[in-house]
Amino acid sequence: MSPDFPRLEAKKVTQSYGYRCILNELDLVLHGGEVTALMGSNGAGKTTLMKVLCGLIKPRSGEVALFQAESFSLFTQEGYLFDDLTVEENLNFYRQFFNVSEESLEEMKESFALENLWNMPIRHLSLGQKTRTALARTFLMPASFYFLDEPFGALDQVSHENLLKVIKHLRQEGRHILIATHLMERAQGLFNRILYLEKGKIRE
């Protein structure tokens, strides 16, 4: 593992909703150049953990430290897309917002087969099409860590294979991709590590 790769360290992270403890003094280290699977039952706290790691939720206690890293990009089912704008308008907005080149946008358009959806408003897309657009938005953002929350569920076989290609490419570039999923069989051989989140703790 290259020492220049980004690293994320979570130490004794605790988060709770009301009396329910979701993350209980959790310790975790993520290295660049790896793909990690995050597994756990429904409500185990996978999404909460991802949001804590990328700073969207402040933990009750503990800390998350970054080394050699720029930023995070997060994919969730919400998509972070504007319903009334087309796929092109959404992705172009984010391209300019993240200050990335038009070539990157073209790559994402091709990778997620968005050509035919290009001029369609988000509100007219199916769940799978919306997921592809949201994934393109996620990967358009330059980041050291990519957190993907259940990305495989709504994708067809071709889109699924395209997503795996993008993930492998990012891994080669030294990025870390953390994927929360129940569908392990759809990504056989992809993961460097498999983590289980149970009772607020990580088990490897």
Say whether residue 126 binds another protein (CB under 8 A).
Answer: no
**Which span sits near another protein by CB under 8 A: 33-41, 82-90, 153-161, 180-188?**
82-90
Part in contact with another protein (CB under 8 A); list of ranges 53-61, 151-159, 175-183, 194-202: 53-61
On the 0-12 / 13-18 / 19+ scale of CB atoms within 10 A, 136 is: buried
Distances (CA, A) of 56 to 48, 49, 97, 154, 198: 9, 10, 19, 25, 21
Closest listed residue to residue 39, CA positions, set 173, 158, 185: 185
Residues near 64 by beta carbon (within 8 Å), at least 6 away in sequence:
8, 9, 10, 11, 13, 52, 53, 55
56 binds another protein (CB under 8 A): yes
* 104 counts as binding another protein under rule CB under 8 A: no
Least Å distance between CB 185 and another protein?
Answer: 29
Check binding of 10 to another protein (CB under 8 A).
no
Among 83, 110, 161, 198, binds another protein (CB under 8 A): 83
Nearer to another protein (CB atom), residue 111 or residue 133: 133
Sheet holding 176-180, edge to edge: 72-75, 145-149, 176-180, 34-39, 193-198, 201-203
In this complex, which beta carbon is closest to another protein, that of residue 28 or of residue 122?
122
Question: Residue numbers of the site for another protein (CB under 8 A)?
Answer: 54-56, 58, 71-74, 76, 78-85, 89, 93, 96-99, 122, 141
